[in-house]
Amino acid sequence: MYHPVCLSKSMEKRVPVPPMLAMELLIRELESKPTRDKPGILLDGFPRSVQQPDAFEQQITNVYSTIIMDCSEDNLLQRLTVRAKSSGREDDDPAKLRDRINKFSESDKPVWELLSARRTTYKY
C-alpha cells in the first residue's frame, strides 16, 4: 500500500525510497499508462540501491537494459551550480554540492556494478 509519509521522509532525508515502496509506485504508474505500441520505458535515476533491481525483476520485468550517464565531477559541479540558482533546494548550496556528488558516487557504484554484471549496460 502506498505510504505518502514514508515517501516524504525518504525525500526529506535524501535517502533511497524503500524497494517495496518504489516498486509500488512504479507499478501504479505503469498500470495507469497505456502501453500499446510503446517499445519500453525510461526510468531516470532508478535504481538507487542494490535491493531495487531484485524487486524490479521480481515484480515488474527481468527484461531491461541500463544506460549510465557518467561525467566528471567538475562537470557535475558546474551543472549543479547552475541548477542551484533556481532550484530552491537547501542541498544545492555550493558548499554542499561536492559532498553530495561524492556520496552519490559512493552509493551508486555498487548499483552500477551489479547492473553491469547482470544486464546489457551502456555507459556514456
Q: How far apart are CA 105 and CA 124, in angstroms?
A: 15
The C-alpha cell at 103 is 556520496
pLDDT in tens, 74-94: 898 888 888 888 877 777 777
Confidence at residue 4, expressed as pLDDT on a 0 to 100 scale: 72
Q: Is the dihedral of CA 84, 89, 124, 103 positive or negative?
A: positive
Q: What is the band of 1 on the pLDDT scale with cuts at 50, 70, 90? A: low
Average pLDDT over residues 52-72: 86
Confidence at residue 35, expressed as pLDDT on a 0 to 100 scale: 66
- 6-15, 19-28, 46-55, 109-118: lowest mean pLDDT where? 6-15
Residue partners of 108: CB distance under 8 A and separation at least 6: 48
CB 101 within 8 A of CB 77: yes
Q: pTM higher than 0.85, yes or no?
A: no
